[in-house]
Structure 1
Amino acid sequence: MRRLLALVCVLWVLAYANDRLNAWIEATDLPVLVHATAPEVRDRNGELLRAYVIEDGLWRMAVTSDQVDPLFYRMLIAYEDKRFYDHAGIDPIATLRAGAQGVRHGRIVSGASTLTMQVARLLERGTTGQWQGKLRQMRLALALERRLSKGEILALYSLLAPYGGNVEGVRAASLIWLGKEPRRLTPAEAALLVALPQAPESRRPDRNPEAAREARNRVMLRMAEAGVIPLAAAQSDALDPSPEGRHPMPQLAQHMADRAVALGPGNSSGRHDLTLDATLQRSLEQLARTHAARLDPRLSLAITLADHQSGEILASVGSPNYSSTENQGFVDMTQAKRSPGSTLKPLVYGLAFDRGLAHPETLILDTPVYFGSYAPKNFDGEYRGELTVRRALQLSLNVPVVRLTEALGPAHLMAALRSANLKPELQGGTPGLALALGGVGLTLEEMTQLYAGLANEGISRPLHWLKSSSSTENLQQTLISRASAWQIGHILADITPPPAAGPAGHIAWKTGTSYGHRDAWALGWDGQFVIGVWIGRPDGTPVPGAFGAGLAAPVLFEALGRARSRPEPLRPPPPETLISTNAKLPANLQRFGPRPQTSTFQLTFPPDGATLSAMPSGVPLKLRGGTPPYTLLADGAVVASGLYRPQILAPVVGPGFTTLSVIDAAGNSERITIELR
């Protein structure tokens, strides 16, 4: 009876103690279980482009179990807590063993801390040196086991484990110490990631590589003894050197990454997925640095490359060096409003084709002309007389395109830019004829979007770089007809590439140089890609001698060569395209503007081919007919204008051969070549 009563008392005491223990555990206040992680920007395939430190400058990156090699978890549990899946937060066997060893040796021989207890310490940032701290960790470990799954506890360890310096968590540690994601690890790499959190400062690979190597090898030897890895693998990997420094975090597409992070937190883990291709981005950033090294260090360079059929931006380089102060590398020049120079001319011609004002084989005058007080001049100061629209665009002549813009109306050109989902900026309120020559502010990304519309059969849609905003079909607009778009591409594809262009194949391309040589541009496309290149000073200071053809075009061709594995041909002409010689065009398309009437205008003296004695006062010319005022050109350059008398003294003194041209107000012209002795 006494034994039965004693047993009942013991059971009552144990039940009472268990109830008190349960109440004590349930009353535990859990610390915050959600922790800030670095915002991440990834490419279209999930590759990390750029990550950011969190507060206090820590590298702590979101991690899931499928992002880490299972070998790491097997080694971690076998080394740190082999009964992890069997205990409830405290390992009684390990505790009894540690206590017995401590009594026997008079010192701590082995620890009894479980992985759950380590997570408890990491959550509270506590210490293990005092018994009060150990008791608190045991209580919290018991509480964590009741409220979290084993997988969630391992996830917290993977996120918070210290790896030396400002590195926390297995993903950040793998990227910084191993230079790779932890998805695939060798036994030596996994062992290092297991060993470092035990003594993160004394084993830092950048400060104590030998200590890190020895700790790693001890882990591998234990794992071989436990059968986690083959002994041969442990022995061979033990010979590998330990990392001796930090690997830089990926820093690709830094400007684009900044734009993505500025939009908001991204998805639930702070991740931003872009349409960029990391391999292509890395290649074009290297290309930008290589070309920038040959330029004035104050110059910046930007590149935008997109798939013109989908509208996805595949690479975006805002500057050659994000951290450079000399050329303001922190400024994203793909987003800066700049004058596009002559790169707007293809749009003007395409609109003129659609309006029935011209055809590629239409003849147009390249002669001095006045529109009120505005007198456009060609970039080289010379005039070619009458030539085809095709040739005028290929030579990027200013006068013909302004003539077409005057017929179209500058407001129509501005409306076309806006309908292409661009945001042009004008200094004045009303667009003028100079709009066709770049008198407007547009970004490189906008210009690339405009050319993407030309490449995509005249259908313009916004370029996009966030994968979450890939649907832009509802925003697409018809910029020009597909026949006109093909004609523009066909004309531009016949321009001879620059000598340094490289083997880029058959592409449609156009360069531009803004007023004062402030901006050098090159834009072009093939059957798949569209590329824009800008070079200049971010502060808008002139760059004497800078031309789009000389500076930007070689970058364009090399960038396209890097983007594609094989040339993508331009599209064939649509069936409605009018392909004809000038003679077979309708009468209204054979010539644009006033028609020369050479029969009523003559340069009667001196005769063509004459040899004259040079005179200090110049060469006398005599005219018959024509409509004043007259303009006089010598070797293609204007030397006098606003002339009303039929007798002209040309200020040419020789010696040598000289070509003299006279153009009347109606566009009629006469030309002679003489020799002065």
Structure 2
Amino acid sequence: MINTPLELLKKIPQQFSSDVFRLKKVRILLGIGVFFIVFLLIPLPDPLFTPSYSTVLLSSNGNLLGSSVAADGQWRFPLSDSVPEKFSVCLTNFEDQYFRYHPGINLLAVLRATKQNIGAGKIVSGASTISMQVIRLSRKGKSRTFSEKILEMILALKLEYKYSKDEIMALYASHAPFGGNVVGLEAASRRYFGREAKKLSWAESATLAVLPNSPSIIYPGKNQRQLREKRDRLLKKLWNRGVLDSLGCALACKEPLPGKPKSLPSIAPHLLQRAKNEGLEGTFVNSSIKIALQKRINALVAQHHERMSGNEVHNAGALVIELKTGKTLAYVGNAPVKGKDSAHGEYVDIITSKRSTGSLLKPFLYALSVDEGLIAPKTLLPDIPMFFRGFAPKNFDRNFDGAVPADQSLSRSLNVPFVYLLKKYSYEKFHLRLKELGMTTLNQPANHYGLSLVLGGAETTLWDITAMYAGMGRTLNGFFKNPEPTRYRSGDFRPNSYLKAVSDKKNSALHNGKISAGAIWRTFKAMKELRRPDEEGRWEIFESSQPVAWKTGTSFGFRDAWAVGLTPEYVVGVWLGNADGEGRPGLTGLRAAAPLLFDIFDALPRAKGWFPQPMSDMPSAEMCQKSGMKAGPDCPENVIVRNPVATRRSPACAYHKLVHLDENELHQVNSRCYEVGKMKHRPWFVLPPVQAWYYKKKHRNYSSPPPLRPDCRDLEAEKNRLAFIYPRRKARIYVPVELDGTPGQTVFESVHRDKSATIFWHLDGDFIGRTEGKHVMSFRPSRGVHTVTITDKEGNSLSKSFEIISD
């Protein structure tokens, strides 16, 4: 059919309209196609956010102990896995009321914003959802263009596909700006209101919800009037929507706005820094610290530090450990900093610093020696001048007791008996056992430390030493809870932990050391005695609200003052001194550290009783009351006591001897000179001559056996009448020059069983003098090897070789 020109003219508009419609349809389809192509091609960044985060240290119940700014100087707390309900409601009502329903884009809002933007000729409304704002926050610094907006929409859809609504809300709350250098809800809540976000009121939550809208213009401390108006509008919106009632809204609107940001607490700064150093930077560190106890111990350390600072002692540390779990309850790494210009090492973490042990290792040597049967708990140990290849240990008071029970040697912290004991035990073995018990600082071979290992020749940390004491306590507590025959658990000796939940990796860091429960119980019994002699020989008594097994330590040169103590529930360790190693007069464990130790124990809950005695590990044994050794055939007075099983292997009494006397008991006799039937036989406590000489000074009732009747003497009877105190065998002696420049002299000393005897001295065969009473001879031999000989009137003699190594 042929159309007329008029009909053709009528069809032109219809055709044009149809072409335009098809063109629009093509464009829409093309746009949709491009959108989906871009959607498929552009990936969602993974991870979405890569900023640095603050390190946040929390107490065991979630209170803030301290935090540090992120690497970029922002207060940006780590990502939270949830958002408080009040803030979530405030935010969605202010920013995106359909957040829970749209797929990341609110199409109605987009159409409305498009119309407004076209009318204005520029972007005046973004129609941004919370999901789109999360994308914008992750693409920090991008300009606000139409293409950027389209990209945000695409990525918002992908965000919704990958994350739940709660996770998206948490991403926003953790990365939104809140004014100044405060980023994220938790940081803002702490900085502006001084508490965690879940404890904020409706008014406070509303304040924070409106801040990210324009954080550089309006925030607490700046443009307060505009901030109040925005907050109150939001609160009224909540009222209109039924979230708040009228009274709640009115009261919320009357709440004051926060001022300038608050300082965050710094309750355990050294633990915070330690956590960062140990790989926990930029995380929430959920610690085992009890915040109330931490504050109390902080105050006690500050108080004692103030007292000691008058003696130029500037640093102190304290550690409280829960014995059962090994978890840290209080961690005071150092004394508080005094002023910004303080230069006394207050930032040094004393708890992890290596310091000379002083006497802190003596309880372990005592326990190990008892556990091995080397000694019984009360075995007499020699306390006399000793010389070991140039090493001459001395007691703190420079006195000697001759012979002292082992447990008293521990409670009095005598040096000489413990060096003697270490010599018997072997310092190589002790070095190995200490490492097995958890002493991680022994990084040199045993020969490097030698016998000084038990007197402070090695270094340890408060962290290690408290864990080692805790291991002994756990062994004793666990002995009654573990069924036979598994009385001992492999994990009793393990490192302390400051984390609330210990990872499997941490749990695997166990030590393989073991000490028997009986030996530990005896060790704690000796340590529990609270009376200790101080430096001047007086006796101090520390009053404590509960029994405590404790030990002090003082390093050479008064550089370190230690005290460590434990109850069945807690272990406490303290240290005072100077971080730079400067020694100070009177800086001793007893004077400086022990008072703080007992103040801390008084701040702790009282322990329920004491460590129960492990009866099955401590069978009854007959012991010599005088020597403390297993009863021998000549011991006159024996006692039945419970001692560790290994005591059965310890030596029998070596000090009681059966002495044969004449009928008047004035002389010793033998069958060669006296009728056996008339002899009187008496058990006699006999110490070696040097021990006896010092022992009788402290024990006036000690008496040597009567002398041998002259006509009964023979070579055998004359043994051990003479003895050298100094020099020891093959001694190498350096004789110093006196302060006035004159040549010095070396002092030799000997002892005779007969206190009235005269001793004649010879050097290399030449007579040099005689002594009576106290046998001390001073002279200056020339450089080289010499022999000194002593004789008495009866012709008994004794010689010693020595070498002078100075000119």
1:462-541 correspondence to structure 2 within 5 Å = 462-466=495-499, 467-469=502-504, 472=507, 475-496=510-531, 503-541=544-582
Give the corresponding residue for 2:805.
none
Residue 449 of structure 1: how far off its partner (Å): 2.2
- Map of 1:384-403 to 2, 5 A cutoff? 384-403=401-420
On the 8 A contact 1:361/1:581 being kept in 2, the answer is no
Cα distance 1:16–1:215, how it changes in 2: closer, same or farther (>3 A)?
closer
**In the alignment, structure 1 residue 232 sits paired with structure 2 residue 247:** yes
| Residue 211 to residue 475, structure 1, CA distance change in 2 (3 Å) | same
Q: 1:473 to 1:571 in 2, by over 3 A?
A: farther
Residue 654 of structure 1: aligned partner: none
Inter-partner Cα distance in structure 1 for 2:459 and 2:49: 46
Calculate the aligned-residue CA RMSD, in Å. 4.2
Q: Which of 16, 19, 32 lines up with 1:21 in the alignment?
A: 32
The structure number with the bigger radius of gyration is: 2
Displacement of 1:65: 5.1
Q: Is the 8 A contact 2:94 2:210 kept in 1?
A: no
1:441 aligns with 2:459: yes
Out of 316, 325, 339, the position equivalent to 1:301 is: 316
2:530–2:542 contact (8 Å) kept in structure 1 = no
Matched, 1:202 2:217: yes
Among the aligned pairs, what percent are the same residue? 29
| Unaligned segments of structure 2, at least 5 residues | 1-10, 477-491, 533-538, 633-650, 657-684, 701-719, 727-745, 751-758, 760-769, 777-790, 792-807
Q: Report the residue type matching 1:59 in the other structure.
A: W
Contact 1:426 1:439 in 2 (8 A): no
Counterparts of residues 126-275 of structure 1 (less than 5 Å): 133=145, 136-149=148-161, 150-208=165-223, 211-264=226-279, 270-275=283-288
Q: Give the one of 58, 69, 75 matched to 1:53.
A: 69
Alignment of 1:123 with 2:138, yes or no, is yes
Letter in 2 for 1:188: A
Does the 8 Å contact 2:436/2:511 carry over to 1? no
Would the alpha carbon gap of residues 87 and 482 (structure 1) be closer, same or farther in structure 2, given more than 3 Å must change? Answer: closer
2:587 is equivalent to residue 546 of structure 1: yes
Match of residue 368, structure 1, among 373, 379, 385: 385
CA distance in 2, matches of 1:591, 1:512: 32
SS for the counterpart of 2:197 is coil
In the TM superposition, what whole-angstrom CA distance separates every residue of 1:160-202 from its partner, at most 9, and x where no partner exists?
2210111112122112212222123210111111121123233
- Find the aligned partners of 2:120 and 2:524 in 1 and give their Cα distance: 87
1:600–1:175 distance in 2 versus 1, CA, 3 Å: closer
Is 1:292 equivalent to 2:383 in the alignment?
no
1:581 to 1:184, Cα distance in 2 relative to 1, 3 A: farther
Q: How high is the TM-score relative to the length of structure 2?
A: 0.67
Q: Matched residues in 2 for 1:602 and 1:51: separation? A: 63
For residues 354 and 437 of structure 2, what CA distance do their matches in structure 1 show? 16
User: Could you tell me how far apart the structure 2 residues matched to 1:340 and 1:479 are?
Assistant: 21
Check whether the contact 1:521–1:534 (CA below 8 A) recurs between aligned residues.
yes
CA distance in 1, matches of 2:693, 2:150: 109
CA contact (8 A) 2:44 2:158 kept: no
Q: Which amino acid aligns with 1:287?
A: L
Counterpart position of 2:772: 647
Instruction: State the alpha-carbon separation in 2 of the partners of residues 159 and 492 from structure 1.
Output: 52
* Unaligned stretches of 5+ residues in structure 1: 610-624, 632-638, 652-663, 665-677
Q: Give secondary structure in 2 for the equivalent of 1:509.
A: strand
What residue number does 2:438 align with? 421
Distance in 2, matches of 1:600 and 1:474, equals 46
Q: Does 1:341 align with 2:358?
A: yes
Q: Write the distance in 2 (CA, Å) between the matches of 1:437 and 1:489.
A: 19
Cα distance in 1 between the residues matched to 2:406 and 2:174? 65
TM-score under structure 1 length normalisation:
0.79
Conservation of the 8 A alpha-carbon contact between 2:689 and 2:723: no
Question: Cα distance, 1:561 vs. partner?
Answer: 3.6
User: CA contact under 8 A between 1:158 and 1:170: conserved in structure 2?
Assistant: yes
Give, in whole Å, the separation in 2 of the partners of 1:213 and 1:443.
54
Are 2:163 and 1:38 aligned? no
Determine the C-alpha separation between the residues in 2 that align with 1:366 and 1:120: 78
1:399 partner amino acid: V
* Distance in 2 of aligned mates of 1:4 and 1:442: 96
Output the CA distance in 2 between the equivalents of 1:286 and 1:25.
64
1:502–1:237 CA distance, 2 compared to 1 (3 A):
farther
Measure the CA separation in 1 of the matches of 2:321 and 2:172.
41
Given the alignment of the two structures, is residue 565 of structure 1 paired with residue 605 of structure 2, yes or no? yes
Q: Aligned letter for 1:571?
A: F
Q: For each residue in 1:214-245, what CA deviation from the matched residue of structure 2 results, as whole angstroms up to 9, or x when unmatched?
A: 44333222322232222212211332222223
- Contact 2:132–2:156, Cα closer than 8 Å, also in 1: no
Q: Specify the SS of the correspondent of 2:403.
A: strand
Letter in 2 for 1:389: A
